[in-house]
Amino acid sequence: MNFLANFWDNLFSAICASLMSVCAADAGLPEHLFSIDRSWPESEQHAPFGQATGVGVDSLNRVFVFHRAGREWRKPVPTETISADTVYVLDGDRGTLLDSWGSGLFTMPHGLSVDTDNNIWVTDVGSHQVHKFTPDGKLLLTLGQSGEQGSDEFHFAQPTDVAFDDDGGVYVSDGYLNTRVVKFSKDGNFLFQWGTGGDGPGQFDLPHGIATDKLGRVYVADRSNSRIQVFSIDGEFMEEWKRPHVGRPYGVDVSPSGDVFVIDGGDQPFWTKTRVRKLDGEGTLTGLVDLVFDDATPVLGHDIAIGPDGAIYVVDAWANKVQKLLPN
Ligand code: ZN
């Protein structure tokens, strides 16, 4: 059943990819909702990105990109840490490199999010940990035990992403091997968790991205269930958005004006894509754009973040790129 649903979604997506303007017109969408800023980031200023898997923007419009330097995803994940810098800090306006850090800390970088105090939170799917840093890379807090996989209040199993609410609550989507969301206090104390494996309300099959909005809703990119699930900050299920236009959501973020942006990465290994989908608060599609490259580079959209000025940033784990889009 799942296979069939995915097949038809993929077929729909493939047809849309080749007939983009037609699909947009059919859906009543503006055809030129976004523009790709091809001058961003400035090139040749830093070592190339490795597999770029996490992105977040702080209130000062600094863009933090989490990448794997020369390491590539493989099983088993190597236990030695990556020796190169894995976090690049870019100026949101011009794309210049402001800083880099994160060497010797991570085995397999994954998610990156910025909290309301401009602290940087990352997940490492190699060590099963979540870390909190200052913007310049000073370690403040670690959740989870290095190299110890589990599903209790002190352990994760390949945690994927982090989100925050205005009251200091911290939400971890966990993850590739667990099927839950875990909520912590601002100081990292376990509060509660929700979710089991499955495709029913409140169940997950690879919770891969998470975000909150100003209305107190928690959005989970339930990747392998091809849906966004919406919860209260208490973990109460509110609704699901499971429609072809949601695609295979890898990452989710909410703009300052309350629009929900989803990055659809497709299905590995044959149906990958990097497609931005813009939804309103009801889950209705209001815009979409494919981020493709002229040289037919394989793509895999992996995370998305919205800047304070409304700019959209997307990281690609196969093309090893970060792209900036501006709403027209
Ligand atoms: Zn991932």
Residues 128-134, mean pLDDT to the nearest whole number? 98
| 303 CA → ligand 1 middle, Å | 8
Per-residue pLDDT reduced to its tens digit, 273-314: 999 999 999 999 998 888 876 666 789 999 999 999 999 999
Identify the pLDDT of residue 20: 39
Report whether pLDDT(17) > 50. Answer: no
Please give the angle made by the CA atoms of 193, 67 and 45, to the nearest 5 degrees.
145
pLDDT single digits (tens) 240-285: 999 888 999 999 999 999 999 999 999 988 888 999 999 999 999 9
Beta bridge partners of 218: 212, 231
Q: List the one residue out of 30, 90, 64 whose CA is nearest residue 278.
A: 30
What is the chain's alpha carbon radius of gyration, rounded to the nearest angstrom?
Answer: 18
Q: Which positions ≥6 away from 134 have C-beta within 8 Å? A: 119, 120, 140
Structure tokens at 83: 């020796």
CA of 291 to the centre of ligand 1 (A): 18
Distance 267 CA to ligand 1 centre (A): 12
The residue with tokens 């959501």 is 249
CA 208–ligand 1 middle distance (angstroms): 6
- Taking residues 1-27, report their average pLDDT: 43
Element (H, E) at 13: helix 2-18
Instruction: Determine the distance separating the centroid of ligand 1 and the alpha carbon of 250, expressed in angstroms.
Output: 7
Whole-number percent of the chain with pLDDT over 70: 88
pLDDT confidence of residue 57: 98
Give me the amino acid identity at 254.
V
Rounded distance between C-alpha atoms, residue 254 and residue 213, angstroms? 6
Tell me, in angstroms, the distance from the centre of ligand 1 to residue 315's CA: 11
The Å distance, Cα 119 to ligand 1 centre, comes to: 22
Please tell me the distance between residue 92's alpha carbon and the centre of ligand 1 in angstroms.
24
What is the mean predicted confidence (pLDDT) over 118-124?
Answer: 98
| pLDDT score of 66 more than 90 | yes
More confident residue, 19 or 152: 152
Instruction: Render pLDDT for 144-188 as a digit per residue (tens, 0 to 9).
Output: 999 999 999 999 999 999 999 999 999 999 999 999 999 999 999
Residue 9: pLDDT band with limits 50, 70, 90:
very low
118, 135 contact by CB (below 8 A):
yes
- Give the mean pLDDT of 2-12: 45
Q: How far is the CA of 110 from the centre of ligand 1 (A)?
A: 6
Query: How many angstroms is it from 204 CA to the middle of ligand 1?
Result: 15
Q: How far is the CA of 25 from the centre of ligand 1 (A)?
A: 32
- At 139 the three-state DSSP class reads strand
pLDDT at 244: 86
Give pTM, 2 decimals.
0.91
What fold does the segment set 2-327 form as a domain?
A: Neuraminidase (2.120.10)
Mean pLDDT over the full length of the chain: 89
Q: Which of 171, 181, 183, 184 is nearest to 204 (CA)?
A: 181
**pLDDT at residue 292, rounded to an integer:** 73
Centre of ligand 1 to C-alpha 281, Å, is 25
Bridge partners of residue 149, in order along the sequence = 156
**pLDDT (tens digit, 9 = 90+) per residue, 45-62?**
667 899 999 999 999 999
Q: How confident is the model at residue 38 (pLDDT cuts 50, 70, 90)?
A: confident
**Structural domain boundaries in the chain:** 2-327
Q: How far is the CA of 306 from the centre of ligand 1 (A)?
A: 19
From ligand 1's centre to the CA of 76, what distance in Å?
15
Ligand 1 center from residue 255 Cα (angstroms): 22
| pLDDT given at position 46 | 65
- Distance of CA 121 from the midpoint of ligand 1 (Å): 16
Residue 18 reports pLDDT greater than 50? no
| 300 Cα–ligand 1 center, Å | 10
